[in-house]
């Protein structure tokens, strides 16, 4: 409520009141957490606390498994599966099916520019690419930065030595 009051009025006094209450709320949450953790550690120090530690470790381990959140899914025939083994088997079957099915591709009716031999790169295209290169970026396979090619002003193909 104090935040809404400050948002509507935009007065410094309302802002200060909001900040004070927000700070008090954070302190209260920190104190409650501190009290909870102290009681938890006191409980874990007891002889029965060892069982609680194992229980806590087990629940944390279970929470790391991603499939623990699915409670039920439907089978292909709309039958509801609830047990973990059936759900895992259904997922395995489904992904095996979609990963191994050969999809038919539509026939090519228009000429595709990517089919056939690839045209050579012209010196004009090379100059344009050098101009578009950003300074300070990663180098190419020749290990020369773009700044060197820009300073030389010639296409890279003129510098390549045929062996």
Report pLDDT digits (tens) over 51-72.
Answer: 888 888 888 887 777 655 567 7
* Pair 12, 35 in one domain: yes
Can you tell me the mean pLDDT for 8-15?
A: 91
Query: Are 51 and 13 contained in the same domain?
Result: yes
Residue 23 lies in a domain: yes
Per mean pLDDT, which range of 61-65, 92-96, 151-155 is the poorest?
A: 151-155
In terms of Cα–Cα distance, which of 106, 123, 132, 113 is closest to 158?
Answer: 123
Residues 93 and 47 in one domain: no
Q: Do 60 and 77 fall into the same domain?
A: no
Give the structural domain span for 92.
70-100
How many distinct structural domains can be found in the chain? 2
Residue 16 lies in a domain: yes
Whether 156 maps to a domain, the answer reads: no
Average pLDDT, the chain: 79
Could you say which DSSP state residue 138 is in? -
CB 72 within 8 A of CB 80: yes
Same domain? 19 vs 42: yes
Question: Are residue 17 and residue 33 in the same domain, yes or no?
Answer: yes
CB 90 within 8 A of CB 81: yes
| 46 & 96 share domain | no
Q: How far apart are CA 152 and CA 157, in angstroms?
A: 12
pLDDT at 163 exceeding the cut of 50? no
- Judged against a pLDDT cut of 90, whether residue 79 lies above it is answered with no
- Model confidence at 23, pLDDT cuts 50, 70, 90, reads very high
Higher pLDDT, 142 or 99: 99
12: in domain:
yes
45 occurs within a structural domain: yes
* Angstrom distance (rounded) from CA 10 to CA 94: 57
Which stretches of the chain are assigned E, i.e. beta strand? 73-74, 80-81
Residue 37 and residue 88 in one domain: no
How far is CA 11 from its chain centroid?
41
The SS3 call for residue 81 is strand
Residues 6+ apart with CB under 8 A from 115: 108
How much is the pLDDT for 31? 95
For range 6-30, the mean pLDDT: 93
- 6 found inside a domain: yes
How would residue 29 be classed by pLDDT, with cut points 50, 70 and 90?
A: very high
Please give the backbone phi and psi of residue 51, each rounded to the nearest 5 degrees, phi first: -65, -40
> Does 42 have pLDDT greater than 80?
yes
Residue 136, domain member (yes or no): no
Question: 36 vs 134, which has greater pLDDT?
Answer: 36
Q: Which of 15, 37, 64 is the last residue of a domain?
A: 64
Phi and psi based region of residue 10 (left: phi greater than 0; alpha: psi -120 to 50; beta: remaining): left
Q: What is the pTM of this model?
A: 0.33
Question: CA of 90: how far to CAs of 16, 67, 71, 99, 102, in Å?
Answer: 58, 12, 13, 14, 20
Q: Are residues 53 and 75 in the same domain?
A: no
- Examine residue 55 and state whether it is found in any structural domain, yes or no: yes
Percent of the chain at pLDDT > 90 equals 16
């Amino acid at each position: 409520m104090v935040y809404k009051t400050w948002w509507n009025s935009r007065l410094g006094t309302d802002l200060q009141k909001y900040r004070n209450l927000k700070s008090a709320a954070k302190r209260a949450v920190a104190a409650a957490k501190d009290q909870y953790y102290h009681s938890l550690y006191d409980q874990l120090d007891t002889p029965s606390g060892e069982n609680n530690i194992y229980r806590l470790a087990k629940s944390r381990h279970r929470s790391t498994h991603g499939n623990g959140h699915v409670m039920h899914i439907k089978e292909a025939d709309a039958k509801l599966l609830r047990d973990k083994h059936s759900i895992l088997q259904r997922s395995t079957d489904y992904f095996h099916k979609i990963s191994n099915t050969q999809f038919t591709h539509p026939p090519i009716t228009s000429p595709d520019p990517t089919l056939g031999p690839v045209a050579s790169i012209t010196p004009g295209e090379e100059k344009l690419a050098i101009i578009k290169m950003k300074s300070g970026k990663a180098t190419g396979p020749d290990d020369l930065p773009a700044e060197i090619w820009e300073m030389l002003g010639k296409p890279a193909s003129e510098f390549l030595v045929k062996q």
